[in-house]
Amino acid sequence: MTKNMRFDYLKTFLTVAKTHNFSVAAKELELTQGAVSHHIAALVEYFDADLFKRAANGVEVTDAGAILAEAAEKMLAEVKQVKVEISATKSILSGTIKIAASTIPSEYLLPSLVAEFQKNHTRVKFRIKAEDSVNSLLKLQADDVDFAAVGTLEGFGEKLEAIEIGEEELVLIVPNSHELASRKSIKPHEILKYPYINREETSGTRKEIERLLESAGVSPVNLKTALELASTESVITAVSEGRGISVISSIASKRAQAAGLVKVLHLQGVNSTRKLYMVRPKRPLVKTSEVFWNFCKKYVIRKPALS
């Protein structure tokens, strides 16, 4: 019988129990399906009991699995709390802070914010993973990262704690040769006349654009979507090549216009401002993360806007 049991095996077990699927759990945990199967097999051997049974929607926990799930939740929560308490005893901050961040925060905000923090905390390292807003927030919920830096909280506002770390404007960009290029602004309903370059569905920018259009009485489903792309930079490239128009971050658009790639138009009659957020779980964090969170609160005061 297996003599050792690891905490990561328990996390894998709880993820399979939640998703009812080994392959989905593997993707969420960023493991191979073989690794997930190995973790579960080790637990089955350790407890000498079947933990899952086949079901119509994948797998379900057995009676033994249900007992383990309840105990595993408590054990992992207790280990987290112990880690918090041990971290609080350290006088010099160290460790690695993991942040999942959407395009605008990761490219235009976090580099300067992190550099400022590290001036006084040189032993703290950062690992920043670029994701869209929804996947950044999902990674935070799954405890895969310590924080998320995003441009929308839609669907997550009550589940997580957030502070504003900046704000910007959403603007329309058009090709330099476009018939709108000579104008300074545009009404939202006029966007429907032209081929449109959209971001992917899980993009925070897209969610905020849809909110903005709806506030102006324009249905996003009526956009003449020609392309859906995964990053702001790819949208700028597509627009510069004449493939359509798009609404993007004013921060990114300023650089693109300065480089001669596109023309920027403001949106008339709507509140086109959007907030940028740093987000954390609603639970105690290790000391290094708590200090960083408090730093972010002060950073908001020093840098209330990015645009």
Q: Number of structural domains, the chain?
A: 3
Average pLDDT value over all residues in the chain? 90
- Of 148, 97, 88, 145, nearest to 125 by C-alpha is 97
Are 208 and 147 part of one and the same domain? no
Question: What is the rounded average pLDDT of the residues 90-111?
Answer: 89
Are 149 and 279 part of one and the same domain? yes
Q: pLDDT band at 83, cuts 50/70/90?
A: confident
Q: Which domain holds residue 184?
A: 169-273
In this predicted structure, the answer to whether residue 91 has a pLDDT above a threshold of 90 is no
Are 289 and 143 part of one and the same domain? yes
Instruction: Look at 152 and 238; give whichever has higher pLDDT.
Output: 238
- Of 190, 265, 189, 200, nearest to 230 by C-alpha is 200
Are 221 and 158 part of one and the same domain? no
Are 184 and 246 part of one and the same domain? yes
Q: How big is the CA angle at 134 (ends 209 and 214), to the nearest 5 degrees?
A: 25
pLDDT at 184: 95
In this predicted structure, the answer to whether residue 213 has a pLDDT above a threshold of 60 is yes
In this predicted structure, the answer to whether residue 305 has a pLDDT above a threshold of 60 is no
Q: Which of 66, 88, 110 is the last residue of a domain?
A: 88
The H or E element spanning position 264 is: strand 262-267
Instruction: Say which CATH number the domain at 159 has.
Output: 3.40.190.10
Question: Quick check: is 2 in a domain?
Answer: no
Q: Is the pTM of this model over 0.75?
A: no
Question: Quick check: is 298 in a domain?
Answer: yes
pLDDT at 86: 77
Question: Quick check: is 1 in a domain?
Answer: no
Question: Quick check: is 32 in a domain?
Answer: yes
Cβ-proximal residues to 162 (8 Å cutoff; 6+ apart), any chain: 153, 277, 278, 279, 280
pLDDT tens-digit map of 32-57:
999 999 999 999 999 999 999 999 88
Q: How far is CA 158 from CA 68, 155, 282, in A?
A: 29, 8, 10
Are 173 and 267 part of one and the same domain? yes
Q: Which of 68, 88, 108 is the last residue of a domain?
A: 88
Instruction: Say which CATH number the domain at 49 has.
Output: 1.10.10.10
pLDDT tens-digit map of 216-233:
999 999 999 999 998 899
- C-beta atoms surrounding 32 within 10 Å: 12
Lookup result for tokens 């480089």: 259
Q: pLDDT band at 301, cuts 50/70/90?
A: low
Please tell me the distance from the alpha carbon of residue 147 to that of residue 145, in angstroms, as a whole number: 6
pLDDT at 4: 74
Sequence length of the chain is 307
Please tell me the distance from the alpha carbon of residue 119 to that of residue 138, in angstroms, as a whole number: 30
pLDDT at 166: 86
